[in-house]
């Protein structure tokens, strides 16, 4: 029998020795100084050994879709809270691709991001769209980055409701209402809004707008003149958003965003964990409507909510 050769010692391979279900991303040493997007050197075997022993993580959390629709606010807020409580998570990259949505739910996400950012570095990266309520959420982070051609801004509030008076008339249908106060059926589609209704809706919209713009001014350090410039509902490309003060820097890819998160956290090595609610097989395959419950149920709930009160959106 030929003699057995001694087994060579080797550094753990990142592709085989790390837990695939938990840790995603690259092994790297501290990022070099320079602009976002610099390429770091290939880590040595010793760096890989040190990284394997390092339990600290950068969490990647996604905010994708309409807030209050595809973005389930409760799930996202819980995920942000888990990242805040986790001793392993030392920094968070919030990847944003959303046009906004519900005003109240947008503020709930903003508050959760802000609570997290008070304890750990949070970097918001607008990949394609960070508009309205999604930008509100980004204002909770320590820094905001954007892809060069990402859509950023749309800072404003809109209240929308259908008026079905003419449709009901053509159908020969009338609606009988018994109510306890003049505003109990505010936004009801079966009647035209009164001047008092319109004044009340304006009051609500203005109050929400003040909360939104207050968060923007505080996060971005904008004086009244600069704030007025960016709160007209206008949108900018990422490169323009830097010049008007809505974005800190341009970031072209996730790798560069992760490097900055690593620097903010002062981590010598980079290991990632992607956090979020569990998704079904159909959701992972991208099947439209997957995870929304029985067909039609979510749509009926949306229509019912729309008919009950004005829809206030960011």
The whole-number pLDDT of residue 16 equals 36
Q: Between 148 and 33, where is the model more confident?
A: 148
Backbone conformation region of residue 250, classed left if phi is above 0, alpha if psi is from -120 to 50, else beta: beta
Angle at 274 between CA 272 and CA 278, to 5 degrees: 155
| CA gap 15, 41 in Å, rounded | 18
Using a 10 angstrom Cβ sphere, with 0-12 exposed, 13-18 middle and 19 or more buried, the burial of residue 14 is: middle
Strand (E) positions, the chain? 57-64, 89-98, 122-131, 143-146, 151-153, 158-160, 235-237, 249-250, 272-275, 311-313
The whole-number pLDDT of residue 222 equals 96
The whole-number pLDDT of residue 313 equals 76
- CA nearest to 314, candidates 27, 14, 67, 95: 67
| CA gap 184, 207 in Å, rounded | 19
pLDDT, tens only, 79-92: 999 999 999 999 99
- Altogether, the residues listed in the chain come to a count of 314
The whole-number pLDDT of residue 57 equals 87
> What separation in angstroms does the CA of 118 have from each of 223, 257, 312?
23, 20, 29
- CA nearest to 225, candidates 202, 245, 205: 245
CATH number assigned to the domain covering 23-29+41-156+225-309: 3.90.226.10
φ and ψ of 97, to 5 deg: -145, 85
Check the CA dihedral 300-110-93-85 and report its sign: negative
Partner residues linked to 165 by β-bridges: none
Radius of gyration of the chain from its Cα atoms, rounded to whole angstroms: 24
- Confidence class for position 223, pLDDT limits 50, 70, 90: very high
pLDDT, tens only, 263-275: 988 888 888 889 9
Q: Residue 55 pLDDT more than 50?
A: yes
Helix or strand (DSSP H, E) at 258? helix 254-265
Q: Between 291 and 231, where is the model more confident?
A: 231
pLDDT, tens only, 99-133: 999 999 999 999 999 999 999 999 999 999 999 99
- Confidence class for position 185, pLDDT limits 50, 70, 90: confident
Q: Residue 174 pLDDT more than 80?
A: yes
Helix (H, G, I), strand (E, B) or coil at 122: strand
- What mean pLDDT value characterizes the chain? 79
- Confidence class for position 208, pLDDT limits 50, 70, 90: very high
């Amino acid at each position: 029998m030929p003699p057995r050769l001694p087994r060579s010692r080797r550094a753990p391979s990142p592709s085989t020795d790390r837990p695939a279900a938990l840790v995603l991303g690259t092994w790297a040493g501290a990022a070099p100084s320079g602009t976002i997007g610099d390429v770091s050197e290939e880590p040595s075997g010793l760096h890989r050994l040190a990284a394997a022993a390092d339990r600290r993580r950068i969490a990647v959390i996604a905010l994708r879709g309409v807030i209050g629709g595809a973005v389930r606010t409760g799930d996202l807020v819980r995920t942000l809270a888990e990242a805040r409580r986790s001793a392993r998570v030392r920094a968070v990259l919030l990847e944003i691709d959303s046009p906004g949505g519900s005003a109240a739910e947008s503020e709930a996400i903003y508050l959760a991001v802000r609570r997290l950012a008070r304890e750990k570095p949070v970097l918001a990266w607008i990949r394609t769209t960070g508009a309205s309520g999604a930008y509100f959420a980004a204002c909770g982070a320590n820094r905001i980055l954007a892809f060069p051609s990402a859509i950023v801004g749309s800072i404003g509030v809109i209240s929308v409701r259908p008026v079905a008076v003419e449709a009901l008339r053509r159908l020969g249908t009338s609606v009988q209402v018994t109510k306890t106060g003049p505003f109990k059926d505010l936004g009801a589609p079966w009647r035209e809004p009164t001047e008092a209704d319109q004044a009340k809706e304006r009051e609500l919209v203005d109050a929400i707008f003040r909360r939104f713009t207050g968060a923007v001014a505080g996060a971005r350090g904008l004086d009244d003149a600069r704030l007025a410039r960016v709160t007209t509902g206008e949108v900018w490309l990422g490169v323009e958003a830097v010049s008007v003060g809505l974005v800190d820097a341009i970031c072209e890819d996730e790798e560069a965003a992760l490097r900055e998160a690593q620097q903010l956290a002062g981590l010598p090595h980079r290991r990632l964990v992607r956090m979020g609610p569990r998704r079904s097989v159909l959701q992972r395959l991208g099947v439209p409507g997957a995870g929304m419950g029985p067909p039609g149920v979510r749509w009926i709930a949306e229509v019912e909510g729309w008919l009950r009160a004005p829809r206030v959106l960011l």
